[in-house]
Amino acid sequence: MEEPYRQSRAETKKVDPLNADWNGHKTHIERCMSIMPFSCYWGWAIAGVIVSTSSLIILDIFENSFVYSKLYLILSFIMVWQSIIIIWSHNKIKSFKEILIEIVDLPVDKIARRYNNQQKIIFDDKKMALGGLLIILFAHFLSLDYNGIPFHSNISKFFIYFIYYIDCYLLGGGFYIMIMTAFAVNKIGELPLNIKVIFSKKVQSIGVLYSKFTILAASVYIIWGIFHIMTPMKFTSPNMVAWFASFSIFIIIFFTLPQYGIHIMMVKTKNKKTERFSLMLRSKLCEAFKNPTETNLSCLKNLLQIQNKIDKMSEWPFSSYEILHIVLIVIMPLMIVGLELLLRLIKG
């Protein structure tokens, strides 16, 4: 009696790797808003409104001026936007699993387990927190946090630095997620891909989704740039200029290298799989010339259509449309920084 009972309990504890999406896990960015009766997106939006309103009240009471109110509002928006991007990324990255199951030439349960492990690494709370703390220290030691605002009250100064460091913390967490996502996408190229990778539209969806990650990262870059341009310090610090230039280079590397790895693997898979198909086509071609029956000619026609389709298939997991988006979004902020420096040199 006891043995079957133990066995049934063991069976109920087994987790299906296909459905073990780590759905129960929420990052601390999401959990800190779980006390509100809204979605995490709305929770952070409401938090942003509260912070913005509080900053305006503080400026009114302690500074008697709203000259720098835009800076507080921009920092509040950065806080909300970065949080929403992290939550959105956590939700969207789950779609990678069904894409991998279709294009990777491995058992389904093995793919699912690999995906689940990778998801745990990407959204590791401790490492996200460490990334946030490192960016805060980085900003402080390089004086990136110095804005040059002449405050009359330490309370106003404390509050803007408080929001600024929250934004830096979220930026660091986002950086960690970006780096780990890039490694995960790059690892797709190391997996054995099947012939479906040439025909599947889901490969293109990897490129589109990854492009969205990049565009969102670039949007954070732009908003941070707008904030620093509007401060009294602007881009007078060489450290600030170096930081923004490095940020743009990071975004370009984040987009290109992992997808180039997938491109190389797609080319290898296409060459390997189509070599066998070419042998079959030559054989059927010889057979059709020797014995031109209706069946043989129809079969040859179908094979030629498949061959034509394979030749036209893209070997990149993204289109030129995504590349144009990334180039414009990264280059435009760099042009803004360059014009700012040029104007400073002309005035000086």
pLDDT band at 347 (very low <50, low <70, confident <90, very high): low
Q: Token pair for residue 36? A: 């509100």
Kindly tell me if the per-residue pLDDT of 65 is higher than 70. Answer: yes
Residue written as tokens 């930081």?
243
For residue 81, being part of any structural domain is answered with: no
Q: What is the domain range of residue 200?
A: 120-347
Q: Which residue has the higher pLDDT, 131 or 111?
A: 131
| Residue 261, CA distances (Å) to 180, 185, 205, 221 in order | 15, 9, 16, 25
120 and 26 in contact (C-beta within 8 Å)? Answer: no
One DSSP character per residue, 249-287 reads HHHHHHHHHHHHHHHHHHHHHHHHHHHHHHHHHHHHHHH
- In DSSP terms, 193 is beta-bridged to 104
User: Residues 130-143: what's their mean pLDDT?
Assistant: 94
| DSSP assignments along 307-332, one per residue | HHHHHHS-SSSS-HHHHHHHHHHHHH
Mean pLDDT over 27-42 rounds to 84
Banded model confidence at residue 322, pLDDT cuts 50, 70, 90: low
Please report whether residue 265 resides in a domain: yes
* pLDDT confidence of residue 12: 41
Summarize pLDDT for 292-303 with one digit per residue, the tens. Answer: 667 766 776 666
Whether residue 46 is contained in a domain is answered as no
Domain assignment of residue 331, yes or no: yes
Given a contact cutoff of 8 angstroms between Cβ atoms, the answer to whether 171 and 82 are in contact is yes
**Percent of the chain topping pLDDT 90:** 25
**Position 24 in a domain:** no
Total tally of structural domains belonging to the chain: 1
Radius of gyration of the chain (CA): 27
**pLDDT by residue (tens digit) across 161-196?**
999 999 999 999 999 998 998 888 777 767 776 666
**Angstrom distance (rounded) from CA 267 to CA 311:** 11
User: What mean pLDDT do residues 328-333 have?
Assistant: 60
- 20 in any annotated domain: no
Summarize the confidence of residues 36-47 as an average pLDDT: 87
With bands split at pLDDT 50, 70 and 90, how would you rate the model's confidence at 82?
very high
Could you tell me the pLDDT band of residue 339, with boundaries at 50, 70 and 90?
low
Residue 315 domain flag: yes
pLDDT mean over 37-62: 91
Structural domain includes residue 45: no
Beta partners for 104?
A: 193
